């Protein structure tokens, strides 16, 4: 089980990207890094392909597992306060600020309601 403090992003290489290199796919699909930024992630060893160290020139087969374990992603500041309105064994109702993202997406991980509730 992955520690909550470690951010791991995992996806599968889609069939419609067949023939593209891993660098081309990542740069076009996950635009929070440009091509140079993704190259740095490869150099940092933050990417694996099917459990092996990934190279930018790899051409994955559809369904291949891409795993990104970023050393650091700076998340935008937001209001991390929320109030629990109601809670029982099946449901929790919260009141949260508008700029607090609900679940991990894109660059957001630690600054999410999901992360705060998991803690």
35-93 per-position pLDDT tens digit: 999 999 999 999 999 999 999 999 999 999 999 988 766 788 999 999 999 999 999 99
Residues in the chain, total? 119
**Same domain, residue pair 17 and 60:** yes
* Cβ atoms of 77 and 84 closer than 8 Å: no
State pTM to two decimals.
0.65
| Statement to judge: residues 21 and 58 lie in one domain | yes
Q: Report yes or no on 77 lying in a domain.
A: no
Q: Please count the structural domains in the chain.
A: 2
Same domain? 52 vs 20? yes
Residue 33 has pLDDT above 70, yes or no: yes
Domain around 99: 83-118
């Amino acid at each position: 089980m992955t520690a909550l403090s470690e951010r791991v992003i995992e996806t599968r290489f889609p069939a419609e990207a067949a023939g593209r290199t891993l660098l081309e796919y990542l740069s076009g699909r996950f635009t929070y890094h440009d091509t140079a930024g993704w190259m740095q992630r490869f150099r940092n060893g933050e990417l694996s392909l099917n459990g092996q160290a990934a190279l930018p020139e790899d051409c994955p087969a559809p369904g291949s597992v891409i795993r990104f374990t970023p050393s650091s992603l700076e998340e935008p500041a937001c209001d991390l306060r929320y109030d629990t309105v109601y809670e029982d064994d099946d449901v929790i109702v919260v009141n949260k600020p508008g700029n607090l993202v609900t679940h991990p997406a894109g660059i957001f991980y630690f600054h999410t309601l999901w992360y705060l509730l998991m803690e």
